[in-house]
Amino acid sequence: MIRYSIKFVSFICILWVGVTLIGCSDVEHKQKDEYLIKVGNKTISVADFNKAFEVAKNAYPQNSIEQPEVIRKVRWRLVQQMTEEMILLQRAEELGVTINDSEVEKTLEELKKDYPDNVFQEILLEYAIPYRSWRKGLKTRLLMQKVIAKELGDKIEITNDDISTYYEEHFKDDDTSSDVKEVPEDVNNIIKNILRKEKMEKAYASWIEELKKNYAVEINKKELEK
């Protein structure tokens, strides 16, 4: 089996966690199992959270994840991640945001370009993750990204000065005259995408905190500490 970077395995496992979110149940149809997280009318049970946690642990070095303090931090980080993702899914329903199969396939093709054939299948097999379920996790992730883009990306302004400054700092050759300010057309859109992503990342923390105020979020800390 070819060995891959922790970063790439982490990417695979994070998307798998999204599968748990797909199956989060309505409160009125709550399973017999205790809940761990409630957001609005959705819940994630203790059993489902533990399954997601077992997969998420694969993204960390073995000698690190065996330490009790690290385990507690990773569990709490996963709770926060899943809470935010449940909020984003609720928001997607409110906005009517959806993802179709063609968008998922396009993303899969882009992901596979940088890796050998069957690399995803090999890693999923190694970690006992069904490909079909992982693909659903990818679809969930894309849906959440679409919500963020709609809520934040459309409101972000990229000025010509922003583009010129970024070009001066990152793209322009040292041999190019300092008097040249015009950004080549083929680079202009690339810089716009980079700057929009950077500004979205900076705006995300305060935005998600404001969004949380619109939903009833409950975390069963008693079960989390077990």
List per-block mean pLDDT (blocks of 10 residues) for the chain, which spans 226 residues. 48 60 54 77 86 79 82 89 90 93 89 75 76 83 90 87 88 54 78 91 91 91 84
Asked if the structure places residue 15 within a domain, the reply is yes
Report phi then psi at 172, rounded to 5: -70, 135
Domain span at residue 78 reads: 6-224
Contact 39, 83 (CB under 8 A): yes
| Helix, strand, or coil (residue 136) | helix
Asked if the structure places residue 1 within a domain, the reply is no
Q: What is the pLDDT of residue 3?
A: 47
Q: What is the CATH number of the domain that holds 48?
A: 1.10.4030.10
pTM: 0.77
Instruction: List the strands of the sheet with 217-219, edge to edge.
Output: 25-26, 42-45, 35-39, 217-219
Contact 128, 77 (CB under 8 A): no
Structurally, the chain folds into a number of domains equal to: 1
Asked if the structure places residue 177 within a domain, the reply is yes
Distances (CA, A) of 126 to 63, 122, 183: 19, 6, 46
Using DSSP bridges, classify how beta strands 42-45 and 35-39 pair: parallel, antiparallel or unpaired: antiparallel
Q: What is the CA radius of gyration of the chain?
A: 21
